[in-house]
Structure 1
Amino acid sequence: MPEDVPWSGEQKEGLIVRISRHIQYFVTELRRRKVFRAVTVYAITAWVVLQVAEVTFEPLGFPPWAMRALVISAIVGIPVSFLLAWVVGSGANGLVLDLPLWAEAQDPAPPRGKADLWYTGLMLAVVIGVSYSAVVLLSEDATDARPDAISDPAPVAAAAPVPRNSIAVLPFRNFDGHQDTDFFALGLGEEILNLLASVRELDVAARTSSFQFRDDSVDVREIAQRLTVSYILEGSARQSGDRIRVHVQLVDGARGFQVFGKVYDRPLTDIFSIQQEIAAAVANELQIALSVDSEKQLQQTPTEDLNAYIFYLHGQERLGSSDDSDVMATAIRLFTQAIELDPEFSRAYSGICEAHLRLYEIGNDTEDFKQARAACERAIELDAGLNSEPYLAMGTLYRFRGQGWGELAEQMLEQAVTIAPTSPDAYIELGELRQVQKRMEEAEAFFLRAVDLKRNYWKAHAALAGFHYGNERYRQAVDAYETATRLAPDVASAHAGKGAAYTMLGEFEQARAAYARSLQLKPSRQAYTNIGLSYYYAGKFVDAAEMQRKALAFAPDDHRVWGRLAESVRFVPGREAEALEAYQRAAQLAEQNLQINDSDWRTRGLLAIYQAHGNRPDAALQNAASAVEKSRGSPEALYYLALVALTRGDQEGVLQALEDAVASDAQYRQLIESDPDLAVLRGIERFDRLLEPSLDAQSAPQNAPQIEP
């Protein structure tokens, strides 16, 4: 091989001169073609557009990918603007293609023609390379952010980005030191929360989620992280005579720094103005452009009577403090006092409606249903379509009435959505209504819409969990309940629901822990009933009866508790008379419920069992058959029919109903095997064959149809 010949000094100097001339020529062309100016103008314009989009896209409802697409477009546009400025020039005839790149005679240019095309090709390669890199990198980021890119996905709320327009209002503190006036500060804070929640451009954490920190000293950054919000509003209030002093501060949830703070020292009569000013200040600091409707919402005054408003605040504080029946009665009394001072106070009627509705859900007392309906109707009459709450409550009441009232329920709920289109509660109720109507795909869509509207709202996740539970998706139910309990760790019902889902999965340790947490937070009918059922199927009838007695203390008018008490004591020697009395009371209450909702096949099936053991065999058989018909052959209704046939000594009827139930849902095999009533059938070949697991049978724990989520 020939040896390399070293470069001479003249050759090196010539190369440097040529490179220098190329660079000088390239820079000259950049200036002549005004490339620097074009790219600078583009960069400034793109930056302004991105800033505006960052502030406006979320409030205007644009999907998250829209911002990502805009960023990609802006980055790709930089080399594109460079290329266009290089190859396109302006002349007397407008825009022209400035190729080939003939330099002026006096320019120190390299050989023309090929060099010009080489520069253009280089620019094109840069454009393609930068554009491709931007798209790939941003697409990878987007893929990494997708929940399905994670092997073990967290609950949806934990993985979601924190919306810039999201805020949590912490309970306001009472700094006058008197416990009997705590209601004023707490009520004022809740009213500001409700006022902000009425602004559709804001994403406000639910009261239950934010008010859990009432007595805790938790850093605001941790609160913001747990509630998935960007900002925290906290404050304090003091009423002194006819004056009020309110101090508020808005805190950046990520950094913990104060964004806005102000003290309002005004006459008590200015309380509505103070609330409106605080809400407007929050919207301004969050750079939210309010719609005309939102502006109107902020200007609403609930009543002209200040004393009526004080009673209302006190009632709201009671309403939000507990679901205990005595607390609900106190709230109703306070709302009634507000109405006595202002008979046209719509929101006070809404409060009465909600309190009676909760009492009805707790105790199944039909009188509470009637009172709730009357209050809701009056609230709607006075409201003139300004607030969604009475329409939402009325829709819920109509849903309780059953299928014949579905159209009216839908009308009320659609009106609630029209008034508050970004409120998740109406979508939750629409989902519940669709479940009653057996339109499951629509129901799930409504629940998912509620979660999407407010990912930090525990009730939306709990409702979705209940839907999964009802459709036997128990693992998904557990995941959704986990999210609900993370957002609202002090809500006992969410822990009880989680316990029910774990039970259905056969994970009894987790189920017991969830039930224990539920009872620790708030002893309830639901928790005691489910624990009692677990004792019943384990053959511990005395313990089961004790749990049902405790459940009765919370729901003395609930036919289900009386029925479960009766079935427990029936197996305890010497307590037959007590069982008969409990069955008769259960039947009486169930019949009252059917007067409200005649299409409730589950209550009708349970009534059949009460009647079968309460010396009404013919009525029992008629109601059991009706339950099967109304439920379209539900395995649960067939199971009730089998138990009624058992009391009549109809062995063929029992076996046929059980076979039909297992054919419809194999998990009933476990329940049949553990039911104390059916133990008398053991040894019968047809019954024993029924208990043999099939290849497609699901592994499910006992008491499948009666555990309450």
Structure 2
Amino acid sequence: MGEEPAQSSISTLWSELKRRRVVRVVALYAIAGWFVIEVASTVLPNLNLPDWTSTLVTVLVVLGFFIAVVLAWAFDIGPEGVHRDPGPAVPASSGQPDSIAPSEPADPPRVQRAPPAEADDRKSIAVLPFVNMSGDVENEYFSDGISEEILNLLVKLPELRVASRTSSFVFKGKEVSIPQVAGELRVDAVLEGSIRRAGDRVRITAQLIDAASDSHLWSETYDREMKDVFAIQDDIAQSITDALQITLSPKERRAIQNVATSDARAYDFYLRGRSYMYTMTQRDYEHAIGMFNQAIVQDAKYALAYAGIADAYSHMFRYADASLENAEKAREASEKAVALDPDSAEARASRGLAMFISENYPEAELEFGKAIELNPNLFEAYYYAGLAYTSQGEFEKSVEMYLKAMEVSPTDYQPAVFLGQAYASLNRKHDEMKARLSSIELIERHLKMNPHDTRALCMAANQLSNVGELDRGLKMAEEALAREENEPLVLYNIACFFAMSGDSDRSLDLLERAVDSGWGDRAWLETDSDLDLLREDARFKALLERIN
């Protein structure tokens, strides 16, 4: 009984050290200090300086260590800059100390207004998922889909920075204020709304709100037949540009007119298909393909539906079932999409992704380049191009693409994760650590709003392992496995965690299970720096041969 208070005090101190990021600072300082001492011991003797000079450098590094620890305890660095740490928060009833809390429901985030990205003076906007007022959860796909389509129209305007779907949809169903949303996503304005659908009629209410004043810039209610939904989206996009005082060229004015299809039923099937594309499971990819095919039955010239089929097969190949049949179907559908609409950036990006999974890298690079030329704000084009360069081992180029993706969508954690991985492959340790720490903050924020996102949980585990927080990382890894122990993507990512943690046997066990379950991206396996520990292992080499 007498030891419990002491143990509790130690546990509290350790939790507080982690919360204040002192552990990370110690790890970073140790790396930097070792580097400085090594350089000094090598260079200073050649400069004919006194013998005690190297000793002085060592002493200064040691003294600096204590100063760094004190500063890390007292101050914090976040997106809003350097500020004094306010001290420990009052613990919640769950008593969970870690900032990543995947098992608990998330409270609304307490965020501060972050400055816009440097050297980007464009006006910016976030499109929140419209609220489904139909009283039928089955119509959720429709309200989400309309929101995403408006977002996609606005993304085509180079004068406007639009928060990505991944970033803005984390607020779905959350009770947060517009200033909070704008601060989190670093935007000037927020579009929100609601949709009520009844039979062939739809009622859409939209309002554009200025973040600084929390006042309306524009609002409108549309009560029309379903066949008029395209005109409604066009009118909303045009009204937003007028309210933000953005002058459009004739080409840009045409770009925000939704002309992908004129068939309302085809469009409905397309939206249903898109709603299945975000869980990253084989079952839902198959559902998405079925919906896209139904859209094509209604409109055989629907290029975006073909692009959707291509994306579904490409993702299924990468994450669930790496069969030659899936790769071939992705190529066929993407080719059809480009043939139907060669000026569609989305179709070009889908074609690039299909070429990437087929390891036709020159063609993939060409298609991603065309997609970026057609729409410089298309996040997927930069992100997929970065993945393709990583698979080829061209890490300098992948760094460039990931940085571009982060410019387009600063709050999306995915490119930050792979940026750190690319820096690791280039042995740029300082840049790697900065990217890793940045990705952890982005994932923490994402998981706070989406605690049941298993892929993000996997990514969190891996990044925590990379910065030396193995206990927290292990907790995340075990949680992810408990949720989806048979998903190839989860098995692969947790295998990476155990490889980085030094447990090669368990890592290989999980990798073998991932391959048995359908994982088969050999090129990624060969270049993934997270698996460097396994390179010379006979089991790993045998696994590569199996995939080949």
TM-score relative to the length of structure 1:
0.54
Q: CA deviation at 1:538?
A: 8.1
Q: Residue 20 of structure 2 aligns with which residue? A: none
The yes-or-no answer on 1:443 pairing with 2:398 is yes
Q: Is the 8 A contact 1:602 1:637 kept in 2?
A: no
Q: Is the 8 A contact 1:237 1:247 kept in 2?
A: yes
Partners of 1:254 and 1:501 lie apart in 2 by: 34
Q: Which sits farther off after the overlay, 476-485 or 195-204?
A: 476-485
Match of 1:225 among 166, 173, 183: 183
Q: Is the 8 A contact 2:153 2:257 kept in 1?
A: no
Q: Residue 302 of structure 1 aligns with which residue? A: 260
Deviations, residues 351-381 of structure 1 (Å, cap 9, x unaligned): 1111111111112233221111111111011
Partners of 1:433 and 1:189 lie apart in 2 by: 29
- Identical residues among aligned pairs (%): 27
Partner SS state of residue 452, structure 1:
helix
Q: CA deviation at 1:425?
A: 2.8
Q: How does 1:660-679 map to 2 (within 5 A)?
A: none
Q: Is the 8 A contact 1:359 1:365 kept in 2?
A: no
Match of 1:266 among 214, 224, 230: 224
Partner SS state of residue 488, structure 1:
helix
Match of 2:361 among 397, 401, 406: 406
Q: Is the 8 A contact 2:205 2:220 kept in 1?
A: yes
Match of 1:556 among 492, 495, 517: 517
Amino acid at match of 1:315: G
Q: Residue 508 of structure 1 aligns with which residue? A: 470
Match of 1:330 among 283, 287, 290: 287
Q: Residue 427 of structure 1 aligns with which residue? A: 382
Q: CA deviation at 1:459?
A: 3.5
Partners of 1:538 and 1:545 lie apart in 2 by: 11
CA RMSD of aligned residues (A): 3.6
The yes-or-no answer on 1:248 pairing with 2:227 is no
Q: How does 1:497-536 map to 2 (within 5 A)?
A: 497-515=459-477, 518=480, 524-529=487-492, 531=494
Q: CA deviation at 1:289?
A: 1.4
Deviations, residues 115-166 of structure 1 (Å, cap 9, x unaligned): xxxxxxxxxxxxxxxxxxxxxxxxxxxxxxxxxxxx9754699964265611
Amino acid at match of 1:370: E
The yes-or-no answer on 1:455 pairing with 2:410 is yes
Q: CA deviation at 1:546?
A: 8.8
Q: Is the 8 A contact 2:395 2:423 kept in 1?
A: no
Q: How does 1:278-297 map to 2 (within 5 A)?
A: 278-297=236-255
Q: CA deviation at 1:470?
A: 3.7
Partner SS state of residue 416, structure 2:
helix
Q: Which sits farther off after the overlay, 451-460 or 204-213?
A: 451-460
Q: Is the 8 A contact 1:462 1:484 kept in 2?
A: no
Q: Residue 172 of structure 1 aligns with which residue? A: 130
Q: CA deviation at 1:192?
A: 1.1
Partners of 2:262 and 2:489 lie apart in 1 by: 42
Q: Is the 8 A contact 1:496 1:526 kept in 2?
A: no
Aligned length: 424
Q: How does 1:31-42 map to 2 (within 5 A)?
A: none
Give the direction of change, closer, same or farther, for the CA distance of 1:302–1:526 in structure 2 (3 Å limit). closer
Q: Residue 351 of structure 1 aligns with which residue? A: 308
Q: Is the 8 A contact 2:459 2:493 kept in 1?
A: no
Q: CA deviation at 1:245?
A: 0.9
Q: Residue 639 of structure 1 aligns with which residue? A: 536
Q: Residue 381 of structure 1 aligns with which residue? A: 339
Q: Is the 8 A contact 1:352 1:375 kept in 2?
A: yes
Q: Which has the higher helix share?
A: 1
Q: Is the 8 A contact 2:457 2:476 kept in 1?
A: yes
Q: Is the 8 A contact 1:170 1:210 kept in 2?
A: yes
Q: Is the 8 A contact 2:417 2:436 kept in 1?
A: no
Amino acid at match of 1:355: A
Identify which of structures 1 and 2 has the higher relative contact order when contacts are C-alpha pairs closer than 8 Å and 6+ apart: 2
Partners of 1:601 and 1:223 lie apart in 2 by: 35
Q: Residue 340 of structure 1 aligns with which residue? A: 297
Where structure 1 has 5 or more consecutive residues not aligned to the other structure, the ranges are 1-150, 560-592, 595-599, 607-630, 648-704
Q: Is the 8 A contact 1:432 1:443 kept in 2?
A: yes
Give the direction of change, closer, same or farther, for the CA distance of 1:300–1:504 in structure 2 (3 Å limit). closer
Deviations, residues 400-429 of structure 1 (Å, cap 9, x unaligned): 333xx2221121111111111232332233
Give the direction of change, closer, same or farther, for the CA distance of 1:635–1:268 in structure 2 (3 Å limit). closer
The structure with the largest alpha-carbon Rg is 1
Partners of 2:165 and 2:353 lie apart in 1 by: 20
Give the direction of change, closer, same or farther, for the CA distance of 1:548–1:262 in structure 2 (3 Å limit). same
Deviations, residues 387-410 of structure 1 (Å, cap 9, x unaligned): 2112112222323333xx222112
Amino acid at match of 1:326: R
Give the direction of change, closer, same or farther, for the CA distance of 1:302–1:642 in structure 2 (3 Å limit). closer
Where structure 2 has 5 or more consecutive residues not aligned to the other structure, the ranges are 1-74, 82-112
Partner SS state of residue 288, structure 1:
coil
Partners of 1:642 and 1:318 lie apart in 2 by: 36
Partners of 1:161 and 1:366 lie apart in 2 by: 44
Give the direction of change, closer, same or farther, for the CA distance of 1:461–1:483 in structure 2 (3 Å limit). farther
The yes-or-no answer on 1:371 pairing with 2:329 is yes
Q: Is the 8 A contact 2:371 2:381 kept in 1?
A: yes
Partners of 1:391 and 1:156 lie apart in 2 by: 37
Partners of 1:544 and 1:297 lie apart in 2 by: 48
Q: Is the 8 A contact 2:233 2:258 kept in 1?
A: no
Deviations, residues 490-523 of structure 1 (Å, cap 9, x unaligned): 3543442332233244431232244356558866
